[in-house]
Structure 1
């Protein structure tokens, strides 16, 4: 009878382990990256038949697949206008004028591609490189935690004085609906302006929860891939591919839910001073009201990894650092996720104390840490031992692995890559020891 009970217990443990592993990292019955993504966009010829898009768009406008559009300078959608974009439409950002597309508060963008016919924003250069053009900026009315009015004017290279008012966001007027975006690729954007501010492939500032965003791939951004400033943002099946800046930069009181999303960094392209996730309530505490609104992030089924040819060497050379940075006065949850191929997985701000009050706001659970020299650290080195013990507690269901990405993920050999976990190989690596009585 004891043997029978032991066998049943073992089966339950293995079954629970399999279910937990299947839920980690990006998930889906099929590879949701197939068809609409592109890993080598520099090789794609998008053709010609150019139509110019410039200035202010103040009435409802539709972009059609039959044309290829050249975005010149700073283009603003204003006056509650709706910019519609047909599936399969290609828009090229002009490099000479550091082109940007801005959806102002009250206006909206309807850019719904399909898996077989994605919408593409890319560079107009023949030899494309990171930061060829500005990017897409969506502004809403949902407030941030900053004092006073908020503007993004510093992100533009040479903004006309008459357009300055279009860069205001976050008036706090209530819920905001900035449109629908799905199956959209943004390539080689993120050029910084003459100011020191880092640009983004896609910036969402003060955007409301009714705005629907899914299946967006930002590749080779010269700045951050996704920037979220204030607002309430829900994102699903997002992909940041080899940005120079942060993959997901979230700050100033943003309430952000990211589900089933991916970030792939390259030590040869991505700057080591940036991370997969950078979560802050403020850069300078004096400029915000932290009693009003703190940044809150819930990230589930994330896959954060480094694409390295020699991981150990790149870590020693300082090319690879942490995957996630969590600032003070933030609420952060990472659940059912994977962090693979970093020096340290998570770094906490030195002002986050190692006690129940502070760490209850930072939840890291049911997560695989693979090929990381350590899991959770503080900038205050004396706290590191306590942090490792805290998050290695079995109640968090976090696991550690040391295996290659080729074994860890489903398929990284083809142009249509599959970053879901390779369940069978991971189960084989889990050794369950049994002690039985005869």
Structure 2
């Protein structure tokens, strides 16, 4: 009996070790990015389009895997219509006409791919580059903090009706559909008059909308832009975009979990390039601050900068902060990894460093690794107050200078990188 008990204990110990996982950063007993993602999309040939999508889609439509579709110009799903996309379907954005897809307010998209058969949005160019086509807009009737109940996106799109580009309302639980196991590649085209498209824009989207396992790669604009609404993001990936990986503004209420931003100084734009940008407005005169301010609750995120020579890249100005927090916002990061930035976090200079402000900005059980400084106010080199506040043991934040190879399981695998932390590699430090 004694021998049996010893064997059982050894088995349980071994089983627990095999199935252990690091609690900080993206989590999972297996690498959930290993099967449906593509980290080298420029090497994939998706074939030539066999069907064209253009103008307004005004009746329920299903896109089939057997076809390859071309987004020709501005395509709108309107009139309370549902666009359903089969797993494995490929939709190609046209370079010359700046192809884009807009799911208008009141309509839905059901793009529910499979782990073994994701849905692909990509470029139609032989040699694909960032910003080859526009991107995807999903518009709903959830609230924003702008004056009035409705606003409109304006990227030079050519809708047949203003309502096709309008968003916002008073329905936080609205449902704009499903994006699941979806890849969006080489979007974010820059326009002279309207700036950059984003890979995926969610404007006034309600919390019944499902956004899970969505990967945006090589966007020339932001990867994910969230404008107002009440949104949940789970297992989302921003891979090597030029501008911001995740941008939240205009009263967004967002919960984002188990998600990652992968940056590199050799692709990022020279201005406005951060993993997360959190704001409540661009122009104070255009928002109503009696409405909700932007509130981002993030847990188990990994914000990582992949560099061949981090010290040199910082010295020549290629590396910026991971997270920028603007005034009048609420931000909570929990069990999140920030690795390889200059510094980790910057607070806008208008944020007063006092108890009231810092109660709105929470960092708990964080892992700050290999950053040139941790949390600063913009334009100030002395961050003693912030270090003392967030360095308090009650927050359980950890600071480290670990090498990427020792910190992450397999960060530089070109096909199937694994950005989970190595088990038991977090060592507390006061540096």
When normalised by structure 1's length, the TM-score is 0.90
Cross-structure match for 2:408: 409
Distance 1:340 1:174 in 2: 34
> How far off its partner does 1:46 sit?
1.0
Distance 2:128 2:48 in 1: 16
CA RMSD, aligned part only?
Answer: 1.8
Partner of 2:163, secondary structure, is helix
For the pair 1:64 / 2:64, whether they are aligned, the reply is yes
Distance 2:150 2:270 in 1: 29
Distance 1:382 1:259 in 2: 31
Distance 1:264 1:313 in 2: 19
After superposition, give the CA deviation of every residue in 1:318-373 in whole Å (9 maximum; x if it has no partner).
11010000110000000001000001000001111111111000001101111101
> How far off its partner does 1:151 sit?
3.8
> How far off its partner does 1:163 sit?
3.6
User: Which range moves more in the overlay, 102-111 or 403-412?
Assistant: 403-412
> How far off its partner does 1:21 sit?
8.2
Decide whether the 8 Å contact of 2:279 with 2:327 is kept in 1: yes
Decide whether the 8 Å contact of 1:111 with 1:181 is kept in 2: yes
* 1:379-394 mapped onto 2 (5 Å cutoff): 379-381=378-380, 384-394=383-393
> How far off its partner does 1:134 sit?
0.4
Distance 1:266 1:120 in 2: 23
Partner of 2:386, secondary structure, is helix
Structure with the larger strand share: 1
Decide whether the 8 Å contact of 2:215 with 2:236 is kept in 1: yes
* 1:148-227 mapped onto 2 (5 Å cutoff): 148=148, 150-156=150-156, 159-160=158-159, 162-173=160-171, 175-227=173-225
When normalised by structure 2's length, the TM-score is 0.92
In structure 1, stretches of 5+ residues that fail to align are 1-18, 432-438
User: Which range moves more in the overlay, 268-277 or 167-176?
Assistant: 167-176
Partner of 2:362, secondary structure, is strand
After superposition, give the CA deviation of every residue in 1:68-108 in whole Å (9 maximum; x if it has no partner).
00110000001111000000000000010101100011100
Cross-structure match for 1:358: 357
Distance 2:391 2:172 in 1: 41
Partner of 2:30, secondary structure, is coil
For the pair 1:94 / 2:108, whether they are aligned, the reply is no
For the pair 1:254 / 2:240, whether they are aligned, the reply is no
Cross-structure match for 2:282: 283
Cross-structure match for 1:146: 146
Distance 1:382 1:417 in 2: 35
Distance 1:43 1:174 in 2: 41
Decide whether the 8 Å contact of 1:20 with 1:366 is kept in 2: no
Decide whether the 8 Å contact of 1:247 with 1:277 is kept in 2: yes
